[in-house]
Amino acid sequence: MATTLQSASEADGARAFAELIRVEDVHKYYELGETRVHALRGVTVSIAPGEFVAIMGASGSGKSTFMNLLGCLDRASSGRYLLQGTDVSQLDKKALASIRNRKLGFVFQGFNLLSRTTALENVELPTLYAQLNKEERLQRAREALRIVGLADRMDHFPSQLSGGQQQRVAIARALVNRPSILLADEPTGNLDSRTSVEIMDVFQELNQSGLTIVLVTHEPDISRFAKRTLLFRDGKIRRDEPVTGRPRAFEVLRALPKMED
Amino acid sequence: MELLSILRIAWRALSRNKLRSGLTMLGVIIGVGAVIAMVGVGQGASQAVQQQISAMGSNVVFVASGTVNRGGLRLGWGQTKTLIYDDMRAIVRECPAVKAAAPGGQTTAQLVFGNDNWFTNVQGTEPQYFDIRDWGLAEGVPFTQADVDSAANLAVIGKTVRQNLFGAADAVGQTIRVKDLPFRVVGVLRPKGQSAHMGQDQDDVIFVPITTLQKKLTGDTWLRFIVVSAVSRQASYAAQQEIAALLRDRHRIRPGQDDDFLVRNLADIAQLADQSSRVMTLLLASIASVSLIVGGIGIMNIMLVSVTERTREIGIRMAVGATEEDVQRQFLIEAIVLSLMGGAAGILFGVGSSLLITRLLGWAVLISPLAIAVAALFSAAVGVFFGYYPARKAARLDPIEALRFE
């Protein structure tokens, strides 16, 4: 009996180590007047460190709600969400803000950069809320911009950058506090196909260096750059499978015709 | 998040809409400026009144002859003939709170010098009068007690009289005619200006020895008034009571009967004037405060617009880790920066318009550091008070909704 308990807790510890994210039977519903809208109807999934997961699904399938839960922007109505072994479903708003700041990085479809603020300052933004000193903040922001290949665009304003460059700035902003997970919500939704592949190249490289990435997309072309896809339908995961024959984005880029400009 | 970063963000946000921030600030500028200028005007007026009253002499108590009630016909002050020179002597002798006293008689006369003439007040007194009223001479010397005893024809003239009779020429040593009697001018008084409550020209007067006035000009044997100085400002109340008691006794006025004289304490008048100017200051300041409150409402209005406009920015900040407190603090500080800058500009505006009022209207305006400090504090308080609600609103936003906001 004692040994089983011990082995169970050991197994728990081992699982916590092996799992970056564990979601257990999560439900989410919204009260809209009299009616209750079920957005998630019992989602259970675990994501290991170093994974690159693409979440697919039609609109209304619950994938965005799920993403908001993973991003600690919202809380589940029931079920548990363990992030690196800690249950975040019980944390208050302030603690959630701190987790968003330190452990998560967000990339949005619409880039969501602050206009009239330079690339460097946009990237610096999360560090302002992280009790870092000025030099440390600037150094990290410069480093993050270098990683996404925009070292020479630091003082440009978003309006002076192309869509792909803006999204790279957003990625740098997501990386600046050295998060455990990068969450990307339709990151290529506003980009042309070549630029989309370029962004996926950035993601693949980041993933190769060990960063866990969860990506929401409705484009099958994009999802195949990930290592694993989750298909959402009606608030549940319908399919969970590894990607086979995964292309390398830089190779795809080479094959793509250059834009004539 | 450190204060310096917040201030930089606030400055950015405000300078992004320069015109709008400027107009919003204008409300506070006008409010603070108005408070400072109005308090300045009020305090300046109060100080001017105090100065004029103290110009009448320090610790002064006026005793005037009283009214008479003759068969129901009541005449004004200065009609009874019961106040006499011996009363004055008794006051000096018997009232311990009294330092000095000078008698006063009065008539009006046409003065003639050469081809010029001037109609003025002629007052009879003794030399200590000038000390009691703290009224020095600009030229010459006053007449002496010996001159009073001999009823000499000497005159000390006020500045207005000097100007009208002599112009730029020397006055001291000249002889003028008062009711056809020759008087030698021995001194010219320093100008005193208008009196505080009547607006009378106090310099339109000549002084002659009381004996000369009574014997040669009026034929009166009684005094119109006695000017008394108390030993100190506090003692002036005691002096007032001692004099009243003494005169009632000397004039044999029975209890219940009205005084046939009038005792007025300058400290009383000063206090009354002070009180009314304080009420005035308060009134002006409260009217001006209303505009400061209106300015605060302007800040609140603009901050609410700003929160709505920047909903997406708030969402982004929250997504990257800003807490509710971070967002609230940011907007609150923005409102405070707005109101403090308005307050600073308002102080300049208030001081400037105070100087302008002094220059253009000739009013004494007193700019007190206290008023400036209070105005600055008040403008910060306006920022906190009117910035709180918009900041709270910003902090309460749902990050998901805010990010979706177009």
Supply the pLDDT for residue B281. Answer: 82
Residue B201 shares a structural domain with residue B222: yes
B394 CB neighbour count, 10 Å cutoff: 27
Which band of pLDDT confidence, cut at 50, 70 and 90, is reported for residue B57? low
What chain B residue is nearest to A102 in terms of C-alpha separation?
A: B321
Whether B59 is in a domain gets the answer no
On whether any CB of chain B is under 8 Å from the CB of A137, the answer is no
SS (H, E, C) chain A: CHHHHHHHHHHHHHHHHHCCEEEEEEEEEEEECCEEEEEEEEEEEEECCCCEEEEEECCCCCHHHHHHHHCCCCCCCEEEEEECCEEHHHCCHHHHHHHHHHCEEEECCCCCCCCCCCHHHHHHHHHHCCCCCHHHHHHHHHHHHHHCCCHHHCCCCHHHCCHHHHHHHHHHHHHCCCCCEEEEECCCCCCCHHHHHHHHHHHHHHHHCCCEEEEECCCHHHHCCCCEEEEEECCEEEEEEECCCCCCHHHHHHHCCCCCC
Supply the pLDDT for residue A56. Answer: 94
Residue with tokens 């405070």: B336
Whether B66 is in a domain gets the answer no
Are residues A128 and A72 in contact, defined by beta-carbon separation less than 8 angstroms?
no
Contact B321 A126 (CB under 8 A): yes
Half-sphere exposure of B123 (CA within 13 A, CB side): 21
Which band of pLDDT confidence, cut at 50, 70 and 90, is reported for residue B335? very high
Residue from B320, B324, B328 whose CB has the most chain A CBs within 10 Å, to mutate: B320
Contact B400 A93 (CB under 8 A): no
Q: How far is A110 from chain B (nearest CA, A)?
A: 10
Residue B93 shares a structural domain with residue B168: yes
Residue B306 shares a structural domain with residue B350: yes
Which has more confidence, B341 or A16? B341
Whether B359 shows a pLDDT value over 90: the answer reads no
What chain B residue is nearest to A126 in terms of C-alpha separation?
A: B320
Residue from A128, A135, A137 whose CB has the most chain B CBs within 10 Å, to mutate: A128
Percent of chain B clearing pLDDT 90 (strictly above): 29
Contact B321 A108 (CB under 8 A): no
Contact B324 A94 (CB under 8 A): yes
Rounded Cα gap, residues A183 and A175, in angstroms: 11
Which residues, other chains included, contact A257 with Cβ-Cβ below 8 Å and sequence gap of 6+?
none
Between β-strands A21-32 and A35-47, what pairing exists: parallel, antiparallel or unpaired?
Answer: antiparallel
Note if the pTM is more than 0.80: no
**Cα B53 to chain centroid, rounded:** 9
Torsion region of A114: left, alpha or beta (phi above 0 gives left; psi -120 to 50 gives alpha) = beta
From chain A, pick out residues whose CB is under 8 angstroms from the CB of B315.
Answer: 112
On whether any CB of chain B is under 8 Å from the CB of A126, the answer is yes
What chain B residue is nearest to A65 in terms of C-alpha separation?
A: B400
Whether B194 is in a domain gets the answer yes
On whether any CB of chain B is under 8 Å from the CB of A228, the answer is no
Q: Which of B322, B323, B403 is nearest residue A112 as measured by Cβ atoms?
A: B403
Supply the pLDDT for residue B12. Answer: 87
Which band of pLDDT confidence, cut at 50, 70 and 90, is reported for residue B367? confident
Supply the pLDDT for residue B364. Answer: 76
What phi and psi values does residue B384 have, to the nearest 5 degrees? -65, -45
Are residues B98 and B237 in contact, defined by beta-carbon separation less than 8 angstroms?
no
Whether B76 is in a domain gets the answer no
Which band of pLDDT confidence, cut at 50, 70 and 90, is reported for residue B23? very high
Contact B318 A112 (CB under 8 A): no
Supply the pLDDT for residue B272. Answer: 78
Whether B182 is in a domain gets the answer yes
Q: Among B151, B160, B161, B129, which Cα is nearest to B142's?
A: B129
Q: How far is B46 from chain A (nearest CA, A)?
A: 53
Residue B323 shares a structural domain with residue B188: no
Residue from B11, B316, B398, B400 whose CB has the most chain A CBs within 10 Å, to mutate: B316
On whether any CB of chain B is under 8 Å from the CB of A114, the answer is yes
Residue B357 shares a structural domain with residue B231: no
From chain A, pick out residues whose CB is under 8 angstroms from the CB of B311.
Answer: none
- The two tokens of residue A123 are 């990237």
Residue with tokens 């009205």: B258
**H or E stretch including B131?**
helix B128-132
**H or E stretch including B229?**
strand B225-230
From chain A, pick out residues whose CB is under 8 angstroms from the CB of B312.
Answer: 112
From B200, B231, B259, the end of a domain falls on: B259
Query: Which residues of chain A fall below pLDDT 50?
Result: 1-11, 13, 16
Long-range contacts of A242-248 (CB under 8 A, 24+ apart): A243/A54, A248/A204
* DSSP helix/strand/coil, B385: helix
Looking at residue B254, what DSSP letter applies? P
Contact B320 A71 (CB under 8 A): no
Q: Number of Cβ pairs closer than 8 Å across A and B? A: 60
The model's pLDDT over B309-334, given as tens digits with 9 standing for 90+, comes to 999 999 999 999 999 999 999 999 99
From B237, B259, B281, the end of a domain falls on: B259
Percent of chain A clearing pLDDT 70 (strictly above): 92
On whether any CB of chain B is under 8 Å from the CB of A106, the answer is yes
What chain A residue is nearest to B396 in terms of C-alpha separation?
A: A93
Are residues B212 and B151 in contact, defined by beta-carbon separation less than 8 angstroms?
yes
Residue B315 shares a structural domain with residue B191: no
**CB environment A82-95: b (16+ within 10 A), e (fewer):** bbbeeebbebeeee
Residue B21 shares a structural domain with residue B115: no
Whether B212 shows a pLDDT value over 50: the answer reads yes
Contact A73 B322 (CB under 8 A): no
Across chain B, mean pLDDT equals 86
Residue B89 shares a structural domain with residue B216: yes
> In chain A, which among 58-77 make CB contacts under 8 A with chain B?
68, 71, 73-74
Contact A73 B325 (CB under 8 A): no
- A220 CB-contact burial (10 Å; exposed 0-12 / middle 13-18 / buried 19+): exposed
Vertex A26 angle, CA A206 and A243, to 5°: 40
**Cα A209 to chain centroid, rounded:** 15
Contact B320 A102 (CB under 8 A): no
Rounded to the nearest 10 degrees, the angle between the axes of helix B311-319 and helix B324-361 is: 140
A36 CB neighbour count, 10 Å cutoff: 10
Vertex B19 angle, CA B18 and B23, to 5°: 115
Q: What is the mean pLDDT of residues B263-267?
A: 80
Contact B1 A129 (CB under 8 A): yes
Whether B73 is in a domain gets the answer no
- B16 CB-contact burial (10 Å; exposed 0-12 / middle 13-18 / buried 19+): middle
Please report, as a single letter, which amino acid is at residue A133.
N
Are residues A186 and A218 in contact, defined by beta-carbon separation less than 8 angstroms?
yes
Please report the sign of the dihedral spanned by the C-alpha atoms of residue B199, residue B203, residue B208, residue B210.
Answer: positive
Q: How far is A114 from chain B (nearest CA, A)?
A: 7
Q: Which residues pair with A45 in a beta bridge?
A: A23
Supply the pLDDT for residue B199. Answer: 58
From B236, B259, B282, the end of a domain falls on: B259
Contact A126 B315 (CB under 8 A): no
From chain B, pick out residues whose CB is under 8 angstroms from the CB of A102.
Answer: 321
Between β-strands A212-216 and A52-57, what pairing exists: parallel, antiparallel or unpaired?
Answer: parallel
The model's pLDDT over B63-102, given as tens digits with 9 standing for 90+, comes to 888 776 655 555 566 667 788 888 888 988 888 888 889 9
Please report, as a single letter, which amino acid is at residue B99.
K
On whether any CB of chain B is under 8 Å from the CB of A180, the answer is no
Whether B75 is in a domain gets the answer no
The model's pLDDT over A189-206, given as tens digits with 9 standing for 90+, comes to 889 989 999 999 999 999
Which residues, other chains included, contact B312 with Cβ-Cβ below 8 Å and sequence gap of 6+?
A112, B402, B403, B405, B406
From chain A, pick out residues whose CB is under 8 angstroms from the CB of B313.
Answer: 114
Residue B176 shares a structural domain with residue B250: yes
Residue B252 shares a structural domain with residue B103: yes
Residue B254 shares a structural domain with residue B278: no
Which residues, other chains included, contact B387 with Cβ-Cβ below 8 Å and sequence gap of 6+?
B299, B300, B303, B331, B332, B334, B335, B336, B338, B339
Q: Provide DSSP, B345-384.
A: HHHHHHHHHHHHHHHHH-------HHHHHHHHHHHHHHHH
On whether any CB of chain B is under 8 Å from the CB of A258, the answer is no
Whether B63 is in a domain gets the answer no
Residue B47 shares a structural domain with residue B97: no
Supply the pLDDT for residue A207. Answer: 95
From chain A, pick out residues whose CB is under 8 angstroms from the CB of B325.
Answer: 94
Contact A129 B403 (CB under 8 A): no
Domains in chain B, number: 2
| Domain span holding position B133 | 81-259
Q: Which of A68, A93, A108 is nearest residue B324 as measured by Cβ atoms?
A: A93
Which band of pLDDT confidence, cut at 50, 70 and 90, is reported for residue B56? low
